[in-house]
Amino acid sequence: MVTIVENDIVPALLETISKEFDEKTYSSLKLKKALTLLKNKQATYLDVNEFAVEIGEILASVLDANITVSILPDGKMYFNIADRILNSTMAKNHELISNFAVDVQTNLNHAAGLKLKGQKPELNQDRIDGLVNRLSSGESFDDIKWLLDEPLINFSQSIADDAIKRNVDFHFESGLQPKITRRLSGHACDWCKSLAGTYDYPANVPEDLYRRHERCRCTVEYNPKDSRGVQNSHSKKWRAQKQQEKTEQRKLMNIKSRQA
C-alpha cells in the first residue's frame, strides 16, 4: 500500500493564486490602458512604472486573500512553502513587467531613430531569496505577513528600473549619451527630494538613483530621444574605463576557471 505523505498544500494553493491573478490582471483597467498605449506606440517608462505597480498590487492582494494562518501547517510559513510560492509568482511578475518594458523600449528606440531592440533585464533572484528567507524566519505568520504586501510592489517597480538600467547601459555602450530622470510622486521626503533630477549616465548618476523606501512611488524615466548628444571627452573616458574593467574581469574569470 502506498503511504500518502503529509498533505502538501502548495500545488492547490498555487493553482488558486495563479487563477485569481490571471483573472485580476485580465480585467484590470490600468493594465488595459497601458497595453493600449503600447499598441499605439505612445507608452513611456511612466506607463511601465504604473504597469509594474498594478501587477505588484494585484499579486499582493491575491496572496493576502489566499495565504492565511489557518491554511498553513502549524500556522507557519515554512521555507519550502515560501520558496515555491514566491519563486513561481515573483518570476511571473518579472516576465510580465520586463516583457512590457522591452516592448516599450523598442518603440522608444524606433521613435528616436535607433534601430535597436529593447533589452530584457535579468531576474533578480537575490531579492526573491531574501524575501523567502525573511518570510520563513520562524516568527509568527501575523508578524511577517506585511512582507507579502509592500515589498512585492517595491520588487515589481524595481523590474521597471532594472529595464532602464539595462537599456541605458546598452545605449551608452552603443555610443549614445543617455540621460535618466527621477521624479517625485505624491509625498516628498528629503531623501527623495535630494534624488529627483535629470542625470547624464554614467558620469552624474547618484548611487541611490534606483533605490526606494517603502511606499515610495517616485518614478525613474528614460527616453533615448534625449540621448543623441555630441560625445564629449568625459563620456569617452568613461567608456574606455568600463571596457578596461570588463577585460580585467574576463581575465580573472579565466584564471578562476583554470584553477577549478
Cell 543617455 found at: 178
Q: Which is nearer to Zn ion, 172 or 222 (CB)?
A: 222
**How far is C-alpha 76 from the geometric centre of its chain's CA atoms?**
28
**How far is C-alpha 251 from the geometric centre of its chain's CA atoms?**
31
State the binding string over 149-188 for Zn ion (x if CB under 5 A, else -): ----------------------------------------
Residue 54, Ramachandran bin (φ over 0: left; ψ between -120 and 50: alpha; else beta)? alpha
Give DSSP secondary structure letters for 98-132.
HHHHHHHHHHHHHHTT---PPPPPPP-HHHHHHHH
Q: Which is nearer to Zn ion, 9 or 196 (CB)?
A: 196
In the complex, least distance from residue 193 CB atom to Zn ion, rounded to whole angstroms: 9
Closest CA to 53 of 192, 178, 159: 159
220 part of the interface to Zn ion, by CB under 5 A: no
Residue of 94, 216, 219, 222 that binds Zn ion (CB under 5 A): 216
Q: Which is nearer to Zn ion, 11 or 186 (CB)?
A: 186
Give the Cα separation of 65 and 85 in Å (integer).
14
195 part of the interface to Zn ion, by CB under 5 A: no
In the complex, least distance from residue 218 CB atom to Zn ion, rounded to whole angstroms: 4
In the complex, least distance from residue 57 CB atom to Zn ion, rounded to whole angstroms: 17
Q: Which is nearer to Zn ion, 123 or 196 (CB)?
A: 196
Q: Which is nearer to Zn ion, 9 or 184 (CB)?
A: 184
Residue of 55, 59, 159, 192 that binds Zn ion (CB under 5 A): 192
* Contact residues for 85 (Cβ-Cβ < 8 A; gap 6+): 10, 13, 14, 17, 63, 67
Q: State the number of CA atoms in the 13 A half-sphere of 17 facing the CB.
A: 25
In the complex, least distance from residue 192 CB atom to Zn ion, rounded to whole angstroms: 3
Q: Which is nearer to Zn ion, 152 or 192 (CB)?
A: 192
218 part of the interface to Zn ion, by CB under 5 A: yes
Please work out the total of residues on this chain that contact Zn ion, with binding judged by CB under 5 A: 3
User: Taking the alpha carbons of 195, 200, 201, 203 in that order, is the dihedral positive or negative?
Assistant: negative
Per CB under 5 A, residues contacting Zn ion are 192, 216, 218
